[in-house]
Structures are given as structure tokens and as C-alpha cells.
């Protein structure tokens, strides 16, 4: 029964903190009664020597003065269980200020022969100052120690290491200690600063990263590793995550300050690190002035605007002072959710959601006629390689046909710029999707060479975008959530990766570089093995590859490469002023010949066999190879 009562007391104490009004009352009571004790001490507890009436009247005066400074310096407002040096400083400042005022009152009283009420012996004031300071301090220490005892009495929380012992690390430490659910239990800090390694911080040891071995993690039963450093460099973050990912711990990240709820960090705000953090890519520096100058007061049209890339381009565009944003997509549901998001986040944003298919020429022209866009970002396309291998007709109709319609309308309605989103699969294509994208590149490049047109045509080329619809990361995460297996097509297959915001920021930057006709290629960093991606995602989920989650090799899909390329052999690379953007120098293609060929295919598309469609694309696209089972 005693144990149950003790556990109930501890549970109540952990789940509730002392309200400020109660702390204020307790502090005031300490001030009042310690003054009475100070008088007793001064007169050796000889009550007969005291004028009780005067003592009580003076105690009220002392309480009044102390209360004023308690309210001024708010020494009662700190969370007692997390008392710090700053809180102690407030108590000392409050008490010293009150002592100074009361001493001055006593001095003036004696000099001017005021009432005995104001003539308090200096010795009593000093005794009272010492007593009240010690008692207030001990009260806070007692509460803090009792809370730590209550926290340490529970063994339900997961053992935690915090990487970073600076301000953010201390903040996370307090967050853990103050969590009523007691999800975590701190075991120590990890810090790279040799000056504090081996020391204790707020009662917890500070280790170097060299202690992070399998034996240490096992012996200390570490389940969670929290990164708590402000503005940690991406390369450093990658290094830290890689040093921990092998141990099967949950690796959590502390969000940036601007994402905190009402400026306060909460335990639920600590999120698992993402695969993107393992890329270690530095933030992109944009020429915001140039982009703003190109967008201010303009009407912008984004096709495929509800897709992964199109929707992010739309979000990025809302940062700039545009006149109107027109978002076109045939997908109803994603368009609805994007519209709701923009209305919620940016109620003043002037945007329109238009449901429509870019291959419906008359309807697209109606949109151009109505809104007269100044700048067009063309992101509408089919992009799934295996699906397009099975549907070459649709791939050509939508990717090539849609690009032709939108680019022609951009010229007809005098759009200033036309920016097309291409793919690294357009380089030496081995699949239908890549071949259609290469034809789109040739088409857009040829459009830019036509005489007498005012529209600047820009092509942007990049690789896989993390988290985009149908990309490998969401697929792997779903397979892991389902218990596996995680399927990869080949153990040696590699891919380039970048994040959606990163890709779209570079699209905006490239859109306002050069004079038109360029194919801008983005720096994707080093190619990453897809097998390593699978292994890291499993470990980031706190599971063991091959043990908890199987990895299954299913063989290359039709048209799939072992590795992707960003430049072909006949495309010399030209550097630009932006370190992450280069230009692929491509040979000109006769526009009339290309358009004639495209029109012929589009006009006869429904009459052609799959073999015939691919044969026609092989004639247009240099470097296109296919493993389709037919002979030309």
C-alpha cells in the first residue's frame, strides 16, 4: 500500500507542475515567517523582550517591499523543477533590492525620527536577507531533486543520448525532463568540443563521439539519439547520422525554430531524420533579386501543377510578387488538396486551379487566351518508366504532344519564357519515357531557334527527386511498413537523387539565366546505390536489414539502366555562374523536319502498333536503344 501511495505521489508530481500563483504565495509566506524567525534569533528567542505588535507591523512592511520586487523581477515565474543559475540570480537580485530599500527606509527613519514601524534593526534585516535567500533556494532545490527522483523512479522511458550540449541541447534536455509522458530518459550528451568532454553538464556526462560503439550502445541500452545543434552543416549531419545508423537506434532531429508551435518546442516536434539528410547536400543559394525581377507583376502558368514537381514550383512561386498563378492539371484530387493548402497557408495569394489535359489543344488555347501567361513552367508529363514501356502510344501523345501544344501556344500568345522539366533518362535513353523526354528536349530547343519568335525556351534536366510521386523512397517506406521484403532490381544499380524543393529552386534559377535555347543540367551530387538506399531506410526505421526486413533482388525492369547519366558523349558541358547548374551544349535539329515527323506520328498514332511507335522514335532520337523484342 505504501508503494502504491508513493507511485501515485510520483505520478502526480511528474504530470503536474506548481502553478505560478502557488509559488508566489509560498515565496511570500517564506518572506513573512522568516522575518519573524530573524527577530527571534536576534533576541535569542526571548519573546518577553519583543514588542509583538511592532514586530508584526514591521513584518507586513517587509513583506510589502519584498512582494514589489518579486513582482518586478518575476522570481516566482520559473518552472521550479527546471531551476537554473538564472533563476537563482533572480532570487538574489530580488532579495538584495528589497534589503537595499528597507535599509534606506531604516536609515531615513532614524535620521528623521520616523515611527518605530520604519525603524528595523540592520542586524535583523541582514539575518532576514540571509534566511529568506537560503530558504527560497532550498525550496527550489528540494522540488528539483524530488522531480529528478520521480523521473528516475520510472523505467518506462527510452534511454537517450543528445548530440550537442549547447543551448539547443540544454533545451531538449529540459524538454525530456519535463515531459509528463516520460517517453525518454537522458543518459548523457555527445559533443565534439574537447574542452567539455569528460565533464558533467547539469548532472549528465558529456562524451565524445568516439564512445559510440556497439558495446557502449548495448551496455547503456541507448534507444534514441537526438541531434540538437542549431544550423548544423549538412555534411556534418550526414557524418553523425552515418555513425549512428548501424546501431538500430531511433535518430531524431530537432526542428528549426521557425517550425516550433507558438515559439515553443514540444516532444512531439522531434522527428526522425530523413533519407535526404544522408545526402549531405549544402543549401542552394538563389539569385533572389534576379528571380524576383523576372517574376514581379507576371502571370505564371504551371502545367502538371498538382504533381510533385509542379506543385512545389507553385509553392516556390508564392514567395515572389507575381500577378497571378495559374495551376493546370488533369488530376482532380491532388489539385483540390493543393488549392486548399495554398488557401490555408497563403490566403492573399492570387491563384487559380484549372482542371484540364494539356493534350486538349482547344481547351489549352482557351486558358492561354483568358489568362495570357507571361511565363510557362511545363511540368505535365508521364514519367513512370515501366508503365510507359507498356504504353508507348500514351507516352508519346502526352509527353511529346502536350509539349508541342503548350510550346506552340506560348509562342502564339507571346509568352516571355517557356521552361520545360526534362529528365536524366533523356540522355542516351533506353526506355520509352526517356525517348519521349529527349524528343521534347529536341522540340523545345528547335522552337528556340525559330526566327521571329519572342519566347525564350529553357529546358531543365535533372535526375530522381526524393519523395516525388512513384519515386523509390515512398515505395521502400511502404514496403518496410508492410514488413518487407524491400525489392530492388539489381544490387549494383545506382541513381542520382535530389530533394523536391532543391530541384524546384534550381528550376526557378535556371529559368532566368541565359537568353533561351539552353538545356540546363543540375548538379545531382554523387550517384547513390539503390541497395544502400534500401539498407539506410530500413535502419532509419529502427530495424535490421536482412534480419527484420528482407531485401529481394527482382531483376532489371524493361528499359531500366544500371546507372543514369546527365550528359551524353556528344553534349559538351558548359559551366555557368551557378555552381550547381551547367549547360549541355546540343547540336541544332531542323525544326521543320522535327515538327513534320512529330505531326506525322501524332496524326497516325492510334493506327500504329507499339513496334511502329518505337521505330519512329528510334529514327528521331540519337542514342536511343531498346530491348524490345523486334527487328527493325
> Given phi > 0 = left and psi -120 to 50 = alpha, else beta, which region is 484?
left
Question: What distance in Å separates the CA atoms of residue 263 and residue 531, rounded to the nearest whole number?
Answer: 40
| Helix intervals (H) in 355-424 | 361-371, 385-390, 392-395, 402-412
Report d(CA 439, CA 392) in Å as an integer. Answer: 13
Which of 105, 123, 122 lies closest to 114 in space, CA to CA?
Answer: 105
CA angle 417, 419, 421 (to 5 degrees): 175
Cβ atoms of 285 and 523 closer than 8 Å: no
Backbone angles phi, psi at 421, to 5 degrees: -95, 115
CA 528/CA 543 separation, integer angstroms: 21
Cβ neighbours of residue 256 under 8 Å, at least 6 residues apart? none
Distance CA 439, CA 396 (A): 9
State the CB neighbour count (10 A cutoff) for residue 374: 21
Kindly name the residue from 425, 437, 561, 580 that is annotated as catalytic. 425
- The values of phi and psi at residue 623, to 5°, are 85, 0
CA 295, chain centre distance (Å): 26
Q: Which residues, at least 6 apart from 480, have a Cβ–Cβ distance to it below 8 Å?
A: 486, 537, 538, 541, 543, 549
Q: How many angstroms separate the CA atoms of 214 and 246, rounded?
A: 9
- Radius of gyration of the chain measured on its C-alpha atoms: 35
31, HSE (Cβ side, Cα atoms, 13 Å) = 27
In degrees and rounded to multiples of 5, residue 291 shows phi and psi of: -65, -45
Give catalytic status of residue 561 as yes or no.
no
Whole-number Å distance between alpha carbons of 545 and 146: 43
- Non-local (6+) Cβ contacts of 463 within 8 A are 423, 424, 495, 496, 497, 498, 522, 524, 564, 566
Per the CB < 8 A criterion, the answer to whether 259 and 269 are in contact is yes
Report how many helices (DSSP H) and strands (DSSP E) the chain contains, helices first: 21, 22
Q: At what angle do helices 122-152 and 167-177 cross, to 10 degrees?
A: 70
Written as one string, the DSSP assignment of 431-469 is: SHHHHHHHHHHHHHHHHHTSTT--PEEEEEE--EEET-T
Among 463, 428, 426, smallest CA distance to 568 is for 428
How many angstroms separate the Cα of 550 from the Cα of each of 262, 481, 485, 531, 545?
A: 42, 12, 5, 12, 6
**Conformation bin of residue 414: beta by default, left when phi > 0, alpha when psi is -120 to 50:** left
- Which among 95, 85, 168 is positioned nearest to 135, based on CA atoms? 95
Where in the sequence numbering do the catalytic residues fall? 425
Amino acid at each position: 500500500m505504501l508503494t502504491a501511495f508513493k507511485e501515485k505521489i510520483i505520478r502526480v508530481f511528474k504530470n503536474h507542475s506548481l502553478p505560478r500563483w502557488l509559488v508566489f504565495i509560498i515565496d511570500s509566506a517564506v518572506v513573512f515567517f522568516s522575518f519573524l524567525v530573524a527577530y527571534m534569533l536576534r533576541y535569542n528567542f526571548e519573546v518577553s523582550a519583543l514588542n509583538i505588535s511592532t514586530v508584526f507591523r514591521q513584518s507586513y512592511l517587509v513583506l510589502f517591499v519584498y512582494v514589489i520586487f518579486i513582482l518586478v523581477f518575476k522570481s516566482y515565474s520559473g518552472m521550479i523543477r527546471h531551476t537554473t543559475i538564472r533563476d537563482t540570480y533572480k532570487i538574489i537580485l530580488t532579495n538584495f533590492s528589497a534589503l537595499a530599500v528597507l535599509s534606506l527606509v531604516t536609515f531615513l527613519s532614524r535620521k528623521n525620527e520616523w515611527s518605530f514601524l520604519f525603524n528595523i534593526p540592520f542586524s535583523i534585516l541582514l539575518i532576514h536577507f540571509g534566511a529568506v535567500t537560503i530558504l527560497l533556494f532550498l525550496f527550489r532545490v528540494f522540488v528539483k531533486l524530488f522531480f529528478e527522483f520521480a523521473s528516475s523512479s520510472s523505467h518506462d522511458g527510452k534511454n537517450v543520448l543528445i548530440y550537442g550540449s549547447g543551448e539547443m541541447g540544454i533545451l531538449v534536455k529540459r524538454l525530456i525532463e519535463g515531459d509528463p509522458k516520460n517517453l525518454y530518459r537522458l543518459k548523457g550528451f555527445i559533443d565534439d568540443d574537447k574542452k567539455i568532454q569528460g565533464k558533467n553538464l547539469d548532472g549528465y556526462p558529456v562524451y565524445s563521439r568516439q564512445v559510440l560503439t556497439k558495446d557502449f550502445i548495448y551496455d547503456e541500452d541507448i534507444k534514441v539519439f537526438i541531434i540538437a545543434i542549431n544550423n548544423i552543416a549538412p555534411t556534418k549531419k550526414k557524418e553523425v547520422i552515418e555513425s549512428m545508423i548501424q546501431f538500430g537506434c531511433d535518430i531524431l532531429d530537432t526542428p528549426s525554430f521557425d517550425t516550433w508551435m507558438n515559439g515553443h518546442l514540444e516532444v512531439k516536434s522531434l522527428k526522425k531524420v530523413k533519407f535526404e539528410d544522408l545526402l549531405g547536400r549544402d543549401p542552394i543559394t538563389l539569385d533572389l533579386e534576379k528571380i524576383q525581377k523576372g517574376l514581379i507583376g507576371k502571370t505564371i502558368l504551371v502545367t502538371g501543377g498538382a504533381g510533385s514537381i509542379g506543385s512545389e514550383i507553385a509553392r516556390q512561386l508564392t514567395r515572389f510578387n507575381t500577378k497571378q498563378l495559374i495551376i493546370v492539371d488533369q488530376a482532380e484530387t491532388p489539385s483540390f488538396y493543393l488549392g486548399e493548402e495554398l488557401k490555408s497557408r497563403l490566403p492573399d495569394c492570387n491563384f487559380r486551379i484549372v482542371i484540364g489535359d494539356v493534350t486538349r489543344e482547344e481547351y489549352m488555347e482557351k486558358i492561354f487566351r483568358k489568362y495570357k501567361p507571361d511565363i510557362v513552367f511545363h511540368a505535365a508529363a508521364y514519367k513512370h518508366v515501366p508503365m510507359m514501356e507498356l504504353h508507348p502510344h500514351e507516352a508519346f501523345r502526352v509527353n511529346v504532344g502536350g509539349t508541342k501544344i503548350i510550346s506552340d501556344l506560348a509562342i502564339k500568345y507571346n509568352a516571355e519564357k517557356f521552361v520545360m522539366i526534362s529528365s536524366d533518362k533523356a540522355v542516351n535513353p533506353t526506355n520509352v519515357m526517356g525517348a519521349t523526354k529527349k524528343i521534347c528536349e529536341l522540340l523545345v530547343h528547335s522552337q528556340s531557334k525559330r526566327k521571329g519568335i519572342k519566347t525564350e525556351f529553357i529546358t531543365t534536366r535533372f535526375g530522381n527527386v526524393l519523395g516525388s510521386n512513384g519515386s523509390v523512397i515512398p515505395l521502400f517506406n511502404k514496403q518496410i511498413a508492410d514488413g518487407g521484403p524491400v525489392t530492388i532490381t539489381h544490387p549494383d544499380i545506382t541513381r542520382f537523387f535530389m530533394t523536391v524543393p532543391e530541384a524546384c529552386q534550381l528550376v526557378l534559377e535556371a529559368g532566368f539565366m541565359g537568353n533561351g535555347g539552353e538545356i540546363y543540367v543540375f548538379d545531382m551530387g554523387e550517384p547513390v546505390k539503390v541497395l544502400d538506399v534500401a539498407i539506410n531506410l530500413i535502419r532509419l526505421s529502427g530495424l535490421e536489414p536482412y534480419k527484420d526486413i528482407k531485401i529481394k533482388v527482382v531483376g532489371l525492369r524493361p528499359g531500366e539502366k544500371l546507372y543514369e547519366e546527365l550528359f551524353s558523349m556528344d553534349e559538351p558541358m558548359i559551366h555557368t555562374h551557378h555552381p550547381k547548374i551547367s549547360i549541355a551544349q546540343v547540336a541544332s535539329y531542323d525544326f521543320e523536319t522535327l515538327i513534320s515527323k512529330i505531326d506525322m506520328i501524332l496524326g497516325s498514332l492510334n493506327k500504329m502498333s507499339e513496334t511502329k511507335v518505337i521505330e519512329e522514335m528510334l529514327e528521331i532520337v540519337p542514342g536511343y536503344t531498346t530491348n524490345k523484342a523486334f527487328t527493325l
